[in-house]
Amino acid sequence: MRICVYCASSALVDAVYFEATERLAKILVAAGVSVVYGGGAVGLMGKLADTVIASGGSIKGIMPNFMNEVEWAHKQVTDFEFTDTMHERKARFLAGIDGLVTLPGGSGTLEELLEAITLKRLGQFTKPIIILNTNGFYDPLKQMLDRCITEKFMHEKHRQMWTFVDEPEEVIASIHSAEAWDEAAIQFATNK
């Protein structure tokens, strides 16, 4: 399996988030998963890549050229793809993967996650989306998405697009048990 992981660039977050990232990285490597991520060397991104490499796993970074020019690319990640724009990078994250896992993060992580959910709603992306709710970080997002559905901004069926899990140990099983999704989602993308 090839899994894309979205996570924070910040190096200043609580140790609980670094620990969850490290556990997730080890679990992915043990399961033989190839990891795709943003290519960064710091924060949770750095922890993810460091751990995958130290565990003997496979990891690929996808980063826009302007970030590489300011030397944000992880030096030990050998498999890299550079893009012209942030938009192109986000499209490349989702190409050819079997699932997406989102750890806690800031605006970049949230934006990437919400774009993937939006594309899935339109049937343009069909793979499992797992949201790792370490420390209850994503409780407000869960509430927001629930509210989108209860207030009919989204359809009840859209709840099947994502899975919230509390622990990294639940990630692989939740990818396997995620509801099937396909291009036909376009038929119920809009509430009318």
Residues 27-66 that bind ligand AMP (CB under 6 A): 38-40, 42, 45
Positions 86 through 105 that interact with ligand AMP (CB under 6 A): 105
Tell which positions 126-145 bind ligand AMP, by CB under 6 A: none
Q: Binder to ligand AMP among 3, 4, 5, 9 (CB under 6 A)?
A: 9
**For ligand AMP, which residue of 109, 133, 163, 174 counts as binding (CB under 6 A)?**
109
| Smallest separation (angstroms) from ligand AMP to the CB of 147 | 23
Give the C-alpha distances (Å, rounded to integers) separating 94 from 38, 51, 192: 12, 22, 29
- Side by side, the strands of the sheet bearing 34-37 are 79-83, 58-64, 34-37, 2-6, 99-102, 129-132, 162-165
* Sole binder of ligand AMP in the list 106, 147, 153, 183 (CB under 6 A): 106
- Work out which of 8, 24, 97, 171 binds ligand AMP, going by CB under 6 A: 8
Residue 72 contacts ligand AMP per CB under 6 A: yes
Helix axes 86-94, 107-121, angle to 10 degrees: 60
Residue 38 or 128: the one with the smaller Cβ distance to ligand AMP is 38
Residue ranges that bind ligand AMP, judged by CB under 6 A: 8-10, 38-40, 42, 45, 67, 72, 105-109
